[in-house]
Each structure stands twice: as structure tokens, then as C-alpha cells.
Amino acid sequence: MKKEIFPSGEKLSKEQIVHYLNCDDDIELQKLFDLAKKVRNSVCGNKIYSYGFVYFTTYCRNDCNFCYFRASNKIERYRKSKEEVLEISKALIDDGVNLIDLTMGEDPEYHKEEFQSVLEIIDVIKGEYETPVMISPGVISNEIIDRFAERNTDWYALYQETHNKELFSKMRIRQSFEERMDSKTYARDKGMLIEEGLLAGIGESPEDIADSLLIMGDIKASQMRVMSFIPQEGSPMENFKTPTRRGELTIIALMRIMYPHVLIPASLDVDGISGLKDRINAGANLVTSIIPPKSGFMGVAHSTMDVDEGGRTIAEVKVILNDMGLELATKEEYVEYEKQLRSYQRYI
Ligand code: SF4
């Protein structure tokens, strides 16, 4: 029997989703955003969740065409020590984030050591700091996923970016679409919550996005993110244009209406702190990519935007949310929400 922890979402057909994605009627879109906000408020009240972002190695074996950190790009890279990762994690937790998002490129060094140091970091964050953790290690073996799951790692984030296989092969060069999908569904079956993501503005059609939105529901992603493509210096797509944000905002609103329970990020990585309000107004319920200033850690899509200026901090976010009549959730409130998500996922 389905447990009514969260309201049911709208069962939108592919045609209905495509209609909204093609819509250029401001009044109709505003109604969509208003409905999305109403749905979010019915689930979360005036609370918004927050994740601290710890991008601890920018080395990667892959060559994704849209990414600044792709292996072929001749850039300065870093690999932070366990102590540095724990220090920044603690600082973020003390500031008030609800979760630590441990992000990395597919760094061969970590594959060689079978993620032992990442597991040790998780032990401290989960054990000593009593804080939930998300990992984004890319595609890893089922054996390694088992080890993360055994450590009660809360989340496994692995973004397909598009579910159009042909486009995927142009974006994620020499990577397997199926292997990537299988890794996340395996992690989900092992009890981890999963985040799926898509990138808007990489040559996809509205039909592709509609397919992605439906697939995200089918695989029971508990967190769904969309980010607008940002051209990256030195990458094969550096001369592509970033799309207008209308697409990203419409996708956020559709996700919220279709899946009221999910966490939907308003990422500070795309437009910095100035992009927060619009994303929250479209139905997002989570602020991600919070990074302490002058920490030497980077973002992904906009690797340095607003970081050292202190624009990606809890203090900055709080001011904006409070102005909107919203509040940052405490860690305890987040943990309760996560518990409900887990319980709900077992029933759908
Ligand atoms: S998107 Fe991720 S996997 Fe692809 S090149 Fe960038 S860091 Fe590596």
C-alpha cells in the first residue's frame, strides 16, 4: 500500500511536458511557477535545505565535451588531502549546511586505492560530525558501491545529463550510457538515495527533456537537478552559447509539479548568488554549491564565480531566503526529510 507521506504528483504526459517547454506565453509560465511554489510549500513549508560543496579532486580520466575539468584540458588541478577535506567539511557544517556533498572527477588515483580515503572521510563526517553525505565519484564498480552503502552513505549522485543516447555519446565521450544508468540503479537498490541530473542547452530537444523527466521518475531519483550549460574555456564546446534561463526554470517547475517529494537544487554554480531567487521561485527546495570563501576549493560549471567574494556562503543565502519569507532548515529537519524520502521511495 502506498504511504501518503507526500502529495501525489501530476502525471504529465510527454506531450504536456513538451507543451510547457515550448511555451513562450509569460502568463502561462508564471502560472506554472506559482503552482510549483505552492506544491513545494505544501511539502516543505517555508524551509529550504542546503548542501556544502567539497570538490576535492579536479583530476579526471574522462573527456566529457562540456566540462572544464576534462582530462585533455590543460588546466591547473588539485587533489586535496584528507585533512583539508575534513577541515572544510567541518567549517561548512559549523556554518549550518545540512549535508556534505563530496564531489570529485573520476580521479585514477582514487580508483587505484579503491576509494579507501573517501571511505575514511565519510566515517568521520557521518560518525564524528553526525552529518549526512552525498558522493559523486562517477561510475564505480558495484563492489565499491557496496562499501559506500555499508557505510550508510546517504546519496549517490550520478548525472546522465541527457537520456538521448546519441547526444550522450557526443557529450560523454567513450563512456557507456548503460553502465552509468546501471551504477545508479544498483546504488538505489542497495539502499542509497540517488540524484539524477540533466544539462540544458547542449543540443537536446524538448522531447529529449520530457523523456529525461519521465525517466528520472521511473528510476526513483530522490533528487533531480537541472543546470544550464555554461561554455568552458579550452573545451570542444567553448564556443557554444549558454541558453536563456527560461528553460532551466521551466524544467525545475515541471520536476516539482510531477514529483512533489524530491529535492531540487537551486545551484549557485550556474549564475552565482544572483541566480538563487529565480530558481527558488520556480520550485527548488535546496541550495547547493555552498563553498567557503578563500578555501582553495572550486565549483564545477563556474569554477570560481562568487567563491572568494563570499557569495556562496550560508550567510548570503540566508539573507536572500529570509527576504522571500523562507528559512534555511536545520540539520535535524533535513535528516527528518531524508528519512521520509527513504520511506516514501519504498512505497512508490
Ligand atoms: S563531467 Fe565529470 S566525468 Fe566528465 S570530464 Fe568532467 S569531471 Fe570528468
Q: Going from the N-terminus, what domains does the chain have, and what CATH number goes with each?
A: 14-347 (3.20.20.70)
**pLDDT score of 1 more than 60:** no
Q: What percent of the chain has pLDDT over 90?
A: 87
Mean pLDDT of 328-344: 95
Q: Whose CA is nearest to atom 4 of ligand 1?
A: 64
Mean pLDDT in residue range 285-307: 83
- Give the number of the atom of ligand 1 that is nearest the alpha carbon of residue 105: 7
- pLDDT bin (cut points 50, 70, 90) of residue 36 is very high
Instruction: Ligand 1 pocket test: pick from 56, 63, 64, 79 the residue with the most ligand atoms within 8 Å of its Cβ.
Output: 64
How many whole angstroms from 58 Cα to the centroid of ligand 1? 9
DSSP 189: H
User: In the predicted model, what is the mean pLDDT of the chain?
Assistant: 94
Mean pLDDT for the stretch of residues 13-39: 97
Distance from Cα 234 to the centre of ligand 1, integer Å: 14
- Residue 61 CA, closest ligand 1 atom number: 8
Judged by phi (left if over 0) then psi (alpha if -120 to 50, else beta), residue 307 lies in: alpha
Question: What's the confidence (pLDDT) of residue 2?
Answer: 47
The full DSSP string for 141-173 is: -HHHHHHHHHTT--EEE---B-S-HHHHHHHST
Q: Which residue owns the Cα nearest ligand 1 atom 5?
A: 70
Distance 81 CA to ligand 1 centre (A): 20
What b-and-e string marks burial along 155-173, b requiring 16 or more CB atoms within 10 Å of the CB? bbbbbbbbbbeebbeebbe
If you measure from the C-alpha of residue 233 to the centroid of ligand 1, how many angstroms do you get, rounded to a whole number?
14
Measured in Å, residue 63 CA sits from the centre of ligand 1 at: 7
- The DSSP element (H or E) to which 334 belongs, if any, is helix 331-347
Ligand 1 binding pocket (C-beta < 6 A) is 60, 62, 64, 67, 69-70, 105-106, 138
Tell me the per-residue pLDDT of 110-136, one tens digit each, with 9 for 90 and over: 999 999 999 999 999 999 999 999 999
**Per-residue cell: 116:** 579507501
Q: Hey, which of 58, 70, 298 would you mutate to test ligand 1's pocket, going by the most ligand atoms within 8 Å of its Cβ?
A: 70
Q: How far does residue 20's CA lie from ligand 1's centre (Å)?
A: 30
The b/e string for 75-114 (b: 16+ C-beta within 10 A; e otherwise) is eeeeebeeebbbebbbebbebbbbbbbbbbbbbeebeeee
- The per-residue pLDDT for 302 is 72
345 pLDDT above the threshold of 90: no
| DSSP code, position 304 | S
User: Residue 4 — pLDDT band, cuts 50, 70, 90?
Assistant: low
